A = this chain, B = another copy of it.
Amino acid sequence: MRRALALARGVLYTTTPNPRVGCVIVRDGQVLGEGATQPPGGPHAEIRALRDATERGHSVEGATLYVTLEPCSHHGRTPPCVDAVLAARPARVVVAMGDPNPQVNGRGLAQLRAAGIAVDVGVCVDEALELNPGFVARMQRGTPWTWLKLAASLDGRSALHNGMSQWITGPEARADGHHWRARSCVVLTGMGTVLADDPQLNVREVTTTRPPRKAVVDARYAIPENARLLDGSEVLVFTARSDPAKAERLARRNVQTILMPGDQPQRVDLDGMMRWFGEHDVNEVHVEAGAGLSGALLSAGCVDELLVYLAPMLLGDAAGMVRMPMIDHLDGAQRFEFTDFTRVGADARLRARVAARWQALRQGLDGAPR
């Protein structure tokens, strides 16, 4: 299963909206075939592994098939993998996590078991979920898995009082950030950042054949038409103000304008935006925004995970990382659970997530009843 997980990690940047899946077929300690999910429309991991075994001249009959996700049992862009697995007649199938779609969960496994194949579920389920939290979130709750990237000094300052913010963290942290952009389906920012930094918001530092879409929260629809991020790649602008003429002009440049007004004037409905993402094949959202949008997303409960880069410096009086309403008691704090500390160049990278949301995704994936 470790090998299957490693294969899935190898396609981190290419499979979405499909999940990243790896598959290894083994008999008597010998690998007969292996594979990982190909880009959308291409074969899934099980099919690749079965073909690999055939190409190597091996029959899979009686072997054990390890796969990081329950084989699909429905017709999508490709035929159901479970049929191909049944035809190959392995003796045993070991699955890291069940299909997260509540409608299909366990159906593929039931078909395998009905054919007399031994099935184990829940082996390395946490590692498997780490690879596909967005796919699971979209299937289970209809919204993507969203992480907020923050970069600051050790005392939580992301810019000096004069706005200077480049570069508090070092080049290695920025390169690491591009890996997270590359695995996401959408890189999201706010108008404050567009006006202050005019970012390209594309993926550099990492080679990817599937760049994420760019998205901007722009309540007043004030995005300058010469902004650098409007480079012909697919851009989504979420706004609270209708301007059909501007929308028409931007549409010709591959920019889709989505009118999504919030409860309050001049605000975008952030929850609605997340549901829109869920309906439009967006598994993972990478937020890289200023303190305003970052705080608004946190306050709206739209952030599942934090990706925080801290530089080993203190800045004292300077701008904070997130702008949120003052609270009177610690009960009002946004709480997370640390998952990982890593040194990245001279900086520290701390990851933390909302524990209850992770547990909700995980529930049932290990084959236990929901």
Contact = CB atoms under 8 A, between A and B. Distances in A.
Contacts of A326: 160-161, 316-318
22 contacts: A154-B156, A154-B336, A154-B352, A155-B156, A156-B156, A156-B157, A160-B327, A160-B328, A160-B329, A161-B328, A162-B328, A164-B329, A298-B316, A310-B350, A312-B336, A312-B338, A313-B330, A313-B334, A314-B333, A317-B320, A337-B346, A341-B350
Chain copies in the assembled complex:
2
A152 interface: yes
Interface in A312-370: 312-318, 320-330, 333-338, 341-343, 346-348, 350, 352
Interface in A135-174: 150, 152-157, 160-162, 164, 167-168
B322 A314 contact: yes
B316 A154 contact: no
Interface residues of A, number: 50
B350 A320 contact: no
A131 interface: no
A308 interface: yes
A318 B156 CA distance: 11
A229 to B, nearest CB: 25
A39 interface: no
A306 interface: yes
Contacts of A313: 330, 333-336
Given A150-B155, A312-B335, A316-B322, 19 more contacts: A153-B333, A154-B156, A155-B156, A155-B322, A156-B320, A156-B321, A162-B328, A164-B328, A167-B330, A168-B330, A313-B336, A314-B322, A314-B333, A314-B336, A315-B324, A315-B327, A316-B326, A317-B325, A338-B343
Contacts of A333: 153, 313-315
A43 interface: no
A295 interface: yes
A160 B314 contact: no
A115 B317 CA distance: 60
A319 to B, nearest CB: 11
Contacts of A317: 320, 323-326
Contact of A152 (B155, B167, B325, B341): B155
